[in-house]
């Protein structure tokens, strides 16, 4: 499988262009170094011929001193090149990491639920790491090595046509062999990397699920699975290694042939009296000089092979498009938003439809409670309103505007969702509240917390807003995490608020705290509440009851409660404690 050079080139240009200056400086350092390296064997030849010819020691010493000076200058150029190379490489790959992450964050949920976080880290960090040397060294270093080889051959031609010819043939054949070997290792590398991603995906999930594993007595089993993953990983690692070594072997053979050719032609021409012994040494020396760039080309090609695998996987990610087109241009009206479903049908992948031709409409400022068994489609409605997915049929409208026509960025700012599963980050409470947005004024944070009645709780934390949270929500109980999630959503002043089974993990006393806050906030906004308890349902204006994705009842709460034939009133009758719920 050959990696198209076009893809290499495109990536190079995209990520090196912003660093033009540094790249230019790097090129300068490398080409200066090349010139100096080509000079050295010439000095050697001069020395040998002069020495065997009986020149004065003083003259010979002068040549030796020049030799040392040139070698030192070369060292300086190389040091500059190393530093610039690393800098360029890391800057470029950091950009790539950020771009890749941004691109993936722009993909819809159908992409994300197929991949574990561990796997994504492996792709974004692991695969991109392979490209670090690609950026810094490939462009300049590889080209520089080619120039070094060309320069050497030109100088050999200058000595004698036959020498030049023989070694040019050798160099071309050698390079051809190395290029041939380039494509061979890539598929093995790819397979190995995939297996690695699978291994670390498994590991990542288990590291996050230690509690479940231990309490289920599944420690032995998990270790057994670990071994199983190692067993399937090993063969791919072996083949990948052997494929890389094949390249080395080819290089080794090539140089041996080069030396043989140099010796042979040198012998023939010397015996014929056409060249001096100094020139025989020169030929030998330049052939040795060819060794390093060809070897560097070999390792650079190896890096390229690995990078090739990384590039393929990276391009795969970039090629993946979101299934949620953001072509809308309309902005939503300010204030509370009305919400409407018109004939909406939806399914996840090829499963059974979760919603079937659903119709309902909630006026601005009203609150609707969604009731129904788990799995009846309530969470799906929330996801469609927040436009995490698009329906297969029908239209979802907010403020009278179909959501597809609304600019996605605008929609995100106007719809707030509080879910049961709170996702926190390693960082301060402030950073978790603002999602790392540094522009949120302090007063706004505190006034939101005050409105919700949560200011006291935050002040009670060890460092208040600056309290550091461990990653994955460590340091907060599940209920406290829920409080944070509420505050996080209300900070952004949405026109439509969706509370998805939000209150269920809290104890009733704390729930009361939140209830008051919710009531305040819902006053001037549209609300969609997904709850299991009739208590929560109390504050709704409208009721929508779902069963297997179909609407079985919809209307004003008070009216439905008064009508003895309605499902809602039947629910109320069977449960007087205000706690159980559902059709």
Partner 1 sequence: MTTWQFLRALMRYRPWLYLANGFFWTLVHLAPLLPGLLAKWFFDTISGAAPVGINPWSLIGLLAAVTLGRIGILWLGSETDAYHRFTMSALLRRNLFEQILRQPGARALPEAPGAALSTFRDDAEQVEDTISWTLDQVGTGLFAIVAFAILLATSARLTLAVFVPLVGVVALMRFAAARIERYRRASRGATSRVTGLLAEVFGATAAIQVAGSECHVIARLRGLNDERRRTTVRDRTLTQVLDSINANIVSLGTGLILLLAAGSMRTGSFTVGDFTLFVYYLNFVTDFTYGAGQFLAYFQQSGVAFTRMVGLLGGAAPATLVAHAPLHLRGDPPAVPPPPAAVEPLRSFAVRDLTYTHAPSGRGIAGVSFVVRRGELIVITGRIGAGKTTLLRAILGLLPATAGEIRWNERVIADPASEMVPPRTAYVPQVPRLFSDSLRENVLLGLPESETDLPAAIDVAALTPDLATLPLGLDTVVGTRGVRLSGGQIQRVAAARMLVRQAELLVVDDLSSALDGATERLLWDRLLAQPGTTCLAVSHRRAVLRRADRIIVLREGRVAASGTLDHLLTTSDDLRALWYGTDPDADGTAAETAAIIEEE
Looking only at residues 63 through 82 of this chain, which bind partner 1 when binding is defined by CB under 8 A?
63-65, 67-68, 70-72, 74-75, 78-79, 82
* Residues 345-374, interacting with partner 1 (CB under 8 A): 348, 350-352, 372-374
User: CA dist 494 to 26, 112, 333, 383, 408, Å?
Assistant: 51, 25, 12, 15, 14
CB closer to partner 1 out of 3 and 391: 391
In the complex with partner 1, the residue whose CB is nearer, 285 or 366, is: 285
Neighbours of 273 (CB within 10 A): 7
Q: 383-412: which residues touch partner 1 (CB under 8 A)?
A: 386, 388, 409, 412
Judge residue 55's burial from the number of C-beta atoms within 10 Å of its C-beta, 0-12 exposed, 13-18 middle, 19 or more buried.
middle
Which among 557, 532, 554, 529 is positioned nearest to 544, based on CA atoms? 554
Q: Which is nearer to partner 1, 3 or 77 (CB)?
A: 77
Q: Which of 94, 321, 447, 520 binds partner 1 (CB under 8 A)?
A: 94
Under rule CB under 8 A, residue 580 binds partner 1: yes
> Considering only residues 42, 101, 168, 331, which one is a binding residue for partner 1 as defined by CB under 8 A?
101
Give every strand in the sheet of 496-500, ordered side by side: 415-418, 496-500, 526-530, 367-371, 542-547, 550-556
Assign 3-class secondary structure to 167-234. Answer: HHHHHHHHHHHHHHHHCCCHHHHHHHHHHHHHHHHHHHHHHHCHHHHHHCCCHHHHHHHHHHHHHHHH
Residue 117 touching partner 1 (CB under 8 A): yes
Round to whole Å and give the CA distance between 306 and 189: 7
Which residues, other chains included, contact 127 with Cβ-Cβ below 8 Å and sequence gap of 6+? 193, 309, 310, 313, 314
Among the residue ranges 160-168, 195-203, 299-307, 313-321, the one whose residues contact partner 1 (CB under 8 A): 195-203
By CB under 8 A, name the one of 151, 164, 365, 479 that touches partner 1: 479
Instruction: Provide, rounded to whole angstroms, the least separation between the CB of residue 175 and partner 1.
Output: 19
Judged by CB under 8 A, the stretch of 172-180, 295-303, 338-346, 472-480 that binds partner 1 is: 472-480
| Residue 444 in the binding site for partner 1 (CB under 8 A) | no
Closest CA to 398 of 307, 306, 294, 328: 328
Please list the residues that pair with 88 across neighbouring strands: none
Among the listed residues 109, 315, 451, 566, the single contact to partner 1 using CB under 8 A: 109
**Residue with Cβ nearer partner 1 (173 or 267):** 267
Question: Binding segment for partner 1 among 122-130, 141-149, 156-164, 539-547 (CB under 8 A)?
Answer: 122-130
Q: Is 106 in the site for partner 1 (CB under 8 A)?
A: yes
Partners of 326 in beta bridges:
none
In the set 154, 161, 172, 203, which binds partner 1 (CB under 8 A)? 203
CA dist 392 and 344 (Å) reads 7
Report in angstroms how near the CB of residue 58 gets to partner 1 at its nearest.
9
Q: Is 512 helix (H, G, I), strand (E, B) or coil?
A: helix
Could you write out the three-class secondary structure of 281-332?
HHHHHHHHHHHHHHHHHHHHHHHHHHHHHHHHHHHHHHHCCCCCCCCCCECC
* Among 437, 450, 524, 563, interactor with partner 1 by CB under 8 A: 437
Query: What minimum distance in Å lies between the beta carbon of 388 and partner 1?
Result: 6
User: What would you measure as the largest C-alpha separation in the chain, in angstroms?
Assistant: 123
Which residue in the set 217, 273, 441, 564 belongs to the binding site for partner 1 (CB under 8 A)? 217
* Interaction mask 270-299, partner 1, x per CB under 8 A: xx-----x--xx--x---------------
How far apart are CB 6 and partner 1 at their closest, in Å?
27
Q: Which of 470, 519, 559, 562 binds partner 1 (CB under 8 A)?
A: 470
Residues 521-540 that bind partner 1 (CB under 8 A): 532-535, 538
Question: Does residue 321 touch partner 1 according to CB under 8 A?
Answer: no
- Binding flag, residue 8, partner 1 (CB under 8 A): no
Q: Site map for partner 1, 141-160, x if CB under 8 A?
A: --------------------
Stretch that binds partner 1, among 15-23, 89-97, 390-398, 518-526 (CB under 8 A): 89-97
Record the tokens describing residue 498, joined without a space. Answer: 């969706």
Q: Please say which residue, 162 or 373, places its beta carbon nearer to partner 1.
A: 373
DSSP-derived letter for residue 404 is G
Nearer to partner 1, 172 or 470 (CB): 470
d(CA 46, CA 507): 92
Query: Is residue 555 part of the contact set for partner 1 (CB under 8 A)?
Result: no
Stretch near partner 1 under the rule CB under 8 A, chosen from 8-16, 62-70, 309-317, 521-529: 62-70
Residue 232 burial (CB count, 10 A): 11
In the complex, what is the shortest distance from the CB of residue 93 to partner 1, in angstroms, rounded to a whole number? 9
Comparing CB distances to partner 1, the nearer of 3 and 544 is 544
Report the SS3 class of residue 528.
Answer: strand
Residues that bind partner 1 (rule: CB under 8 A) add up to a total of 174
Question: Is position 105 an interface residue for partner 1 (rule: CB under 8 A)?
Answer: yes
Q: Find where tokens 């040397």 sit.
A: 133
Q: What angle do CA 36, 39, 43 make, to 5 degrees?
A: 135
528 close to 382: Cβ distance less than 8 angstroms: yes
């Amino acid at each position: 499988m050959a990696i198209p050079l076009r893809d290499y080139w495109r990536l190079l240009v995209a990520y090196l262009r912003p660093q033009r200056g540094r790249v230019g400086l790097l090129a300068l350092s490398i080409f200066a170094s090349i010139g100096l390296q080509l000079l050295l064997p010439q000095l050697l030849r001069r020395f040998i011929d002069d020495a065997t010819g009986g020149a004065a020691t003083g003259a010979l010493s002068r040549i030796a001193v020049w030799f040392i000076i040139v070698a030192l200058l070369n060292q300086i150029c190389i040091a500059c090149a190393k530093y610039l190379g690393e800098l360029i490489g890391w800057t470029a790959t950091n950009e790539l990491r950020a771009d890749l992450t941004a691109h993936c964050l722009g993909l819809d949920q159908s992409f994300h639920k197929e991949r574990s976080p561990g796997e994504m880290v492996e792709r974004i960090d692991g695969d991109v790491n392979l490209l670090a040397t690609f950026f810094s060294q490939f462009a300049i270093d590889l080209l520089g090595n080619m120039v070094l080889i060309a320069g050497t051959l030109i100088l050999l031609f200058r000595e004698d046509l036959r020498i030049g010819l023989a070694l040019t043939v050798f160099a071309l054949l050698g390079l051809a062999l190395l290029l041939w070997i380039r494509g061979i290792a890539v598929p093995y590398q790819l397979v190995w990397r995939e297996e690695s991603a699978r291994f670390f995906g498994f590991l990542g999930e288990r590291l996050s699920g230690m509690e479940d594993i231990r309490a289920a007595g599944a420690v032995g089993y998990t270790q057994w699975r670990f071994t199983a993953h190692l067993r399937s990983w090993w063969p791919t690692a072996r083949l990948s290694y052997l494929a890389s070594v094949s390249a080395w072997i080819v290089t080794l053979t090539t140089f041996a042939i080069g030396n043989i050719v140099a010796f042979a032609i040198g012998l023939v021409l010397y015996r014929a009296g056409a060249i001096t012994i100094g020139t025989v040494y020169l030929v030998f020396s330049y052939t040795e000089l060819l060794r390093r760039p060809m070897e560097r080309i070999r390792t650079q090609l190896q890096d390229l092979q690995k990078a090739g695998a990384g590039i393929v996987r990276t391009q795969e990610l970039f090629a993946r498009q979101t299934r949620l087109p953001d072509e809308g241009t309309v902005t939503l009206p300010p204030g509370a938003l009305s919400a409407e479903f018109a004939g909406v049908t939806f399914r996840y992948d090829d499963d059974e439809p979760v919603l079937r031709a659903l119709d309902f409409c909630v006026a601005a400022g009203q609150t609707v409670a969604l009731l129904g068994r788990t799995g009846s489609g309530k969470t799906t409605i929330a996801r469609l309103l927040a436009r995490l997915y698009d329906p297969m049929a029908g239209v979802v409208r907010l403020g009278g505007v179909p959501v597809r026509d609304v600019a996605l960025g605008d929609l995100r700012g106007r719809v707030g969702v509080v879910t049961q599963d709170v996702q926190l980050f390693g960082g301060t409470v402030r950073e978790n509240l603002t999602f790392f947005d540094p522009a949120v004024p302090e007063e706004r944070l505190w006034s939101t917390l005050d409105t919700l009645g949560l200011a006291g709780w935050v002040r009670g934390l060890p460092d208040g807003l600056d309290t550091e949270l461990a990653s994955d929500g460590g340091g907060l109980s599940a209920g406290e995490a829920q409080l944070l999630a509420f505050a996080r959503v209300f900070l952004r002043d949405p026109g439509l608020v969706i509370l998805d089974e939000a209150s269920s993990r809290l104890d009733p006393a704390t729930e009361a705290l939140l209830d008051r806050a919710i009531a305040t906030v819902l006053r001037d906004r549209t609300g969609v509440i997904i709850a299991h308890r009739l208590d929560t349902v109390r504050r709704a204006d409208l009721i929508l009851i779902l069963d297997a994705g179909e609407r079985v009842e919809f209307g004003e709460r008070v009216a439905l409660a008064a009508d003895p034939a309605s499902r809602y009133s039947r629910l109320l009758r069977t449960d007087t404690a205000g706690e159980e719920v559902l059709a």
